[in-house]
Every structure is written in structure tokens, then in C-alpha cells.
Chains A and B, each alone.
Chain A
């Protein structure tokens, strides 16, 4: 059923998901490294915050990739 437009839609969805995840993760990691450089004693707290941030930022892009995959296989 998936024509060329469907494939294009899936490709755009995966690309935008990767873009969003990349920008979000980049911001989180850069600020965490900056924070650790400023306050090395707060490393544990920053690492935990980074872990939660990365997990939540990636939740929606994963859904986007999964939906793109489902659309491609319909």
C-alpha cells in the first residue's frame, strides 16, 4: 500500500525525529558538561538529571520512528 509518498512521509518523520532528538540531547549534554566543569562536586546530581532529561527527550522521537515504521509496513 505504501507508495512513494508514504515512503517520503516515513523518511520525513524519521528525519525530524532524529533532528529533534539530536538537538535536545546536544543541549542537555552540553549543559551537563558545563555544569560538571563549574561544580565537580555536583556531578552525581547532574548525571541523574541528565539521565532523566535524555530519557524524556527521546521518548517522543522513538514514537515518531515507530509510527514511521508502522506507516511504511501498512
Chain B
């Protein structure tokens, strides 16, 4: 089974690929705000995953050392989601709001798809 660093490395790879697609769409299509919104949302979604990986490492360390864990960063992830939407609301000429929300969920969709593919391959 893959560990979380491998999963996050795949997430990063997919994010950079998506960023390239969004840059092409932003530059060469009339839907520039939609692609910018997706890129913004995906950036914050990947940031959420980075926070989660960091907190999981901390959690693992604290279990082995026997110390207490304060939190696994749920409020921080809620806050980063709100930050993405706040940017989209404050700059509506550059970022499409619904695309930002869709972009925020793209890393999660990618995680599910990647797990399904991995499950299919290993069984």
C-alpha cells in the first residue's frame, strides 16, 4: 500500500498538470475567469492536503513519543476553503465563484479516483 507521501506526491503532480491545463484555458479560451477559478480552488485544495500530511506526521510522531496531539487541523482547512472563496468573491472579474468551489474539491475527487485505480490494480 502506498504511504501518504506517495499519495501527496501524486496529488502535486496532478495539480501541476491541472495548472498547465488551466493556464492554457486562461490564455487561449474565452472562459478565462472559469479556468482561473479552478486553478485558485485547486491550489487551496492541494494546500489542504499539505496541511493534512503535515498534521498526520505530527500525529504519528506524537503516538510514538506518547505525547498529546492538540488538533489535526480541521479549522485550518475550513479556513483555507473560506479564504479561496473570499478571494473569488472579492475579485469577481478575475475568478468565477462556482469554478473556485469546484476547483477546491478537485484534489478530493482525484484522491478517490486514484484509490479506485489502485484498488483495481492490486486486486
Contacts and interface: CB of A to CB of B under 8 A. Distances in A.
Given A55-B52, A61-B78, A73 B89 contact: yes
Interface residues of A, number: 30
Contacts of A50: 56
A27 B108 CA distance: 20
Interface string A7-39: 000000000011001100100010001001000
B101 to A, nearest CB: 6
Contacts, number: 77
Interface stretch (B23-31, B32-40, B80-88): B80-88
Interface of A: 17-18, 21-22, 25, 29, 33, 36, 43-45, 47-48, 50-52, 54-56, 58-59, 61-63, 65-67, 69-70, 73
Interface of B: 1-4, 7, 48-49, 52-53, 56, 59-60, 63, 72, 74, 77-78, 81-82, 84-86, 89, 97, 101, 104-105, 108, 111-112, 115
Contacts of A69: 82, 85-86
Interface of B, secondary structure class, is helix
Contacts of B105: 59, 63
B105 to A, nearest CB: 7
| A17, A43, A45, A66 — most chain B CB neighbours (10 Å) | A66
B101 A48 contact: no
A73 B48 CA distance: 23
A63 B4 contact: no
Nearest to B1: A45
A17 B75 CA distance: 11
A66 B82 contact: yes
B89 A36 contact: no
